[in-house]
Amino acid sequence: MLNWYKDTPADVIDPIMAFRLEIVARSGVTEQWWSAILELEDLSLKDLLENARNAGLEGTVIIPNLYSDEDRDREEIQYPTVYATSAFLNAANIRDNPLGVKRLLCGTIVPDAVLDFGAGRWPAALPNILVPDGSVVTAVIDNGIAFAHELFRKTDPTKSRVAFAWIMDADPSASAGTVPVSQGRALANDEIDMLLANNTAAGLLDEDTFYHQAGLIDFAWPGVKQAALRVSHGTHVMGLAAGSEPGTVDDTNPIICVQLPTDVTMDVSGADLLPSLALATVFIKKMAKRFRYQSDPGKRVPLVVNFSYGNFAGPHDGTGIVEKMLDRKFRPLPNRERQLALPAGNGNLARSHARVRLEPPGDEGDEVELHWRLPPDDLTASYVEIWMPCVEDPDNLVEVTVEPAGGPESDPVTTTAGSMQVLETDQNLVVGRLWYAFQPSPTDRGLITVSAAPTFSHDNPADVAPSGVWKIRIRNLNLTPVDSVEVWVRRDETLPGFPRFGRQSYFDNDCYDRFNAFGAPLPIDPPGSTCVVRRAGTLSGFACGERPAVLAGFVESSGELAIYSAAGPITTACGASHPTRTGPDAAAVSDDTRVLHGILSAGSRNGSLVALNGTSVAAPQAARWMAGRLAGGLSGNRVAVNAKGAADDPGFVPPPKPALPRVGGGRMDRIVRFGPNRKA
């Protein structure tokens, strides 16, 4: 039996983080280190540690060794990743906290075994690495990167183009290495070359031994070994971004790769992923800064980064902590050419987004009911984010109630501070929460969060939320008919290649037309549809910033946009006159044909090619094109990508160019092809 009760919560910044920490605390897990990304404004990392000491939290937060003394003294808007205990995170999650943390996102528990807090702190300046003129550094952040594939090696098979490889979940005690890191193990080019030489005989590489010694595949070490599978996401993506036949770009296209921990890539909600992403960008920027031209050592080599992950959640207006972090790290600076490619996301048909416009209170249409379906056997918590519009007075805009499957309806939660309802079982176990929290600048909008515990548990079958349809009712109090309430389901399904863990929840309203008259999935919202559940506006929350080039995917043989490729528009940020983007900047090939899904790129083993699809394979092709442009001294930013799509698109008629929010400038010609032409 379930029942709701009213609670008066602390004035927190992130209700979802508070719910996650509570679930872990009651699970009996002993205190461990969490990764977290912080937003600091005019506060140095040294000041943060001092504030923690003054608040009685000394020793509850650790700064990774990648941050030099110079980094720790810097006072500006910054987004550092830290390792912290739940005590620090709970204190930092209180609005106007004495620690000086403006916003934060909680990552995941980081096993003690992969941490090395004794790793030496990096100096402010690292030795230069000289490369030929016309060189470009390509960096890939992903998982399961089999970096010894021949597409990443030179003419000499014992020499690698990979300049640095950081395996964030490797055993740090396996080797001291020349690149000290606080988490996992990082390899420099000379170490990689030595491993290649030691494990190559008669021109053939013993890949099993190589990856075991590198720390990438060690079955005595916890975690999923995706690079041991035939198909690995990171290898495929890096092949598209920077893979080349040995001897073609041996010295002019060095590679930096960062393998994210497998436990964070299993959780595709993004919350666990983001601190590792932020730390990866610090590593890449510092290492890329070392590359200089032989003819002009004072000039830095351009950098192109590909990050082929997406998410559903966030404000979708460019003000989220991840979007702001990426915009800041890749902002234009003199003598520093840095570009970033991101996928548009694969959530077009996920039924993860609803746009709600309500009639005035008391009129017909002043209330909307969303049917949120929680699947059974879901081992992860599920969340819905209900974002308010930008208004001068954010109080009492709407009231929201939730009726769980087989349970009672909650009392209303309104957009006023301290409004919360808690769902518990007859054993006093909290399995759901409805919570309002105003999100600080630069977002400046209210957020009502619906949280649900996993629908299955191996440890305590009573400590679960009911599966089935949860009814979320949103009733107007003070909104005008033109104000939009934007609602997103957070992503949490398990990615292919990983053990089944999460199952994706979604909106299941009857008004949503899934198929056309012939039974094919509808890729766009039907004309004239009034259903609140929309395909429009499903662009990845990561991809709403101003700087990155964002890529949709299309089918090469037909020219049609892939049915899964997410679309804009996005929300206009508070105080802005227009949104940061209308949708993707362009589209690249993500499927060879309607039948032969995906495109070919590097498999996990030498000599192998495998097919993967999704906008994750569109983005690295654009990254490759951007690198080629920068090598020639031309612009390689999102504007150039948009122009490339616009120039190439006329070659794909018919069908006609898709709508702007789905395709941006247009469809780009095929950038790279490995193996046979499967569309021929």
**77-135 tens-digit pLDDT:** 899 999 999 999 999 999 999 999 999 999 888 988 899 999 999 999 999 999 999 99
pLDDT of 571-597, one tens digit each?
999 999 999 999 999 999 999 999 999
**Pair (162, 286) in one structural domain:** yes
* Cα(147)–Cα(153) distance, integer angstroms: 9
* Cα(614)–Cα(308) distance, integer angstroms: 10
**Pair (154, 293) in one structural domain:** yes
In 531-680, DSSP assigns E strands to 549-555, 586-591, 599-602, 609-612
Name the nearest CA neighbour of 631 among 253, 256, 305, 330: 253
pTM, entire model:
0.94
| Residue-level pLDDT at 264 | 60
**Pair (268, 152) in one structural domain:** yes
**Pair (108, 155) in one structural domain:** no
Torsion of CA 475, 479, 483, 489, to 10 degrees: -30
- Whether the per-residue pLDDT at 31 is higher than 50: the answer is yes
Q: In what helix (H) or strand (E) does residue 88 lie, and over which residues does it extend?
A: helix 86-92
- Whether the per-residue pLDDT at 29 is higher than 80: the answer is no
213 within some domain? yes
* Cα(640)–Cα(633) distance, integer angstroms: 13
| Residue-level pLDDT at 220 | 83
| Residue-level pLDDT at 270 | 42
* Cα(83)–Cα(88) distance, integer angstroms: 10
**Pair (368, 499) in one structural domain:** yes
CB 617, CB 609: distance < 8 Å: no
| Residue-level pLDDT at 268 | 40
**Pair (98, 216) in one structural domain:** no
**Pair (151, 95) in one structural domain:** no
In 565-619, DSSP assigns E strands to 586-591, 599-602, 609-612
The DSSP code for 409 is: P
* Cα(178)–Cα(257) distance, integer angstroms: 16
Residue 341 φ then ψ, to 5°: -115, 135
Average pLDDT over residues 403-413: 96
- Whether the per-residue pLDDT at 545 is higher than 90: the answer is yes
**Domain edge (last residue) among 449, 475, 507:** 507
Instruction: Measure CA of the first residue to CA of the last residue in the chain; give whole Å.
Output: 60
Average pLDDT over residues 321-336: 88
**Pair (295, 363) in one structural domain:** no
Q: What is the CATH number of the domain that holds 400?
A: 2.60.120.1290
**Domain edge (last residue) among 301, 323, 345:** 301
**How high is the mean pLDDT of the chain?**
92
Whole-number Cα distances in Å, 228 to 111, 235, 497, 612: 22, 11, 10, 16
Residues 6+ apart with CB under 8 A from 441: none
196 within some domain? yes
Percent above pLDDT 70 for the chain: 96
* Cα(53)–Cα(63) distance, integer angstroms: 14
CB 404, CB 413: distance < 8 Å: no
pLDDT of 623-652, one tens digit each?
999 999 999 999 999 999 999 999 999 998
What are the helix (H) ranges across 203-330?
A: 207-214, 233-242, 262-266, 274-288, 321-329
**Domain edge (last residue) among 507, 523, 555:** 507
Position 520 confidence tier, pLDDT thresholds 50, 70, 90: very high
**Nearest-5° Cα angle at 390, 384 to 393:** 105
**Pair (185, 256) in one structural domain:** yes
Structure token pair of residue 29: 């897990």
Neighbours of 514 (CB within 10 A): 10
542 within some domain? no
**Pair (150, 109) in one structural domain:** no
pLDDT of 598-621, one tens digit each?
999 999 999 999 999 999 999 999
Average pLDDT over residues 479-501: 81
Using only C-alpha atoms, the chain has a radius of gyration, in whole angstroms, of 25
291 within some domain? yes
629 within some domain? no
- Whether the per-residue pLDDT at 527 is higher than 60: the answer is yes
Number of domains in the chain: 3
Top-confidence residue, 536 or 265: 536
Bridge partner residues of 369 (DSSP): 473
Q: Which domain holds residue 401?
A: 353-507
Structure token pair of residue 99: 């620690």
**Pair (417, 473) in one structural domain:** yes
Helix crossing, 274-288 with 321-329: angle to 10°? 0
170 within some domain? yes
524 within some domain? no
The DSSP code for 228 is: G
* Cα(59)–Cα(653) distance, integer angstroms: 62
* Cα(140)–Cα(165) distance, integer angstroms: 10
* Cα(540)–Cα(277) distance, integer angstroms: 16
**Pair (241, 387) in one structural domain:** no
| Residue-level pLDDT at 139 | 98
Average pLDDT over residues 488-497: 76
pLDDT of 139-166, one tens digit each?
999 999 999 999 999 999 999 999 999 9
Lowest pLDDT segment from 16-30, 179-193, 367-381: 16-30
